[in-house]
Copies of this chain bind each other. A is one copy, B any other.
């Protein structure tokens, strides 16, 4: 009976919690580690005990929190779905809230901020996008197999298109007065999804 850890890195988790709020609000460059520990009632000692530097903290937060948040929001709900309706419903649910500080918009913000290509953070974010695309592609594959989705569509390409679209909607309409524009996007999204349907004719 080797009971590993009764309190599994409690302080470390608190730091990651606080990091979530800060990164969501200010992005990577806009996040101050001093403010982070202050608002969370922690200390720099604790922070730098668990994480060697800011970049590693960001990477850990992305991997351990953001990735799972996206998985819970966008991947798990589609796991066994194969209909355009489920996709449509999920999009309307997630994009309708217009929650400005949720995981989706944080992912978008970080992806847009990261110094582009060969950076480590960029690759970590890229993996999240890949998983997301994979989930949608999976749904489309299953939909094709079930005859619900038209044979001619390419799941991987369509999934990339959709992830780009969702990301773009959060970026271009995350201000309060953009609610109307957001609804317009969702309306067109409906029409677009219909074009994927397999016509019974």
Binding site for B on A (CB under 8 A): 25-30, 100-101, 105, 108-109, 111-113, 115-118, 122-123, 126, 129, 133, 153-154, 156-158, 160-161, 163-169, 171-178, 181-182, 184-185, 187-189, 191-192, 195
Contact = CB atoms under 8 A, between A and B. Distances in A.
By secondary structure, the A interface counts as helix
A116 to B, nearest CB: 5
Given A160-B185, A169-B168, A188-B160, A112 B112 contact: yes
B116 A174 contact: yes
Nearest to A178: B126
A26 B27 CA distance: 11
Nearest to A125: B175
A130 to B, nearest CB: 9
17 contacts: A27-B112, A27-B113, A28-B30, A108-B168, A111-B174, A116-B174, A116-B176, A118-B175, A154-B184, A154-B188, A160-B181, A161-B192, A164-B169, A164-B171, A167-B168, A168-B171, A171-B171
A111 to B, nearest CB: 5
A122 B30 CA distance: 16
B27 A175 contact: no
B25 A115 contact: yes
Contacts of A173: 160, 164
A161 B175 contact: no
Nearest to A130: B181
Report the 6 A-B pairs with minimum CB-CB distance, sorted nearest first: A168-B168, A164-B168, A161-B188, A29-B30, A157-B184, A112-B112
Contact of A184 (B30, B156, B177): B156
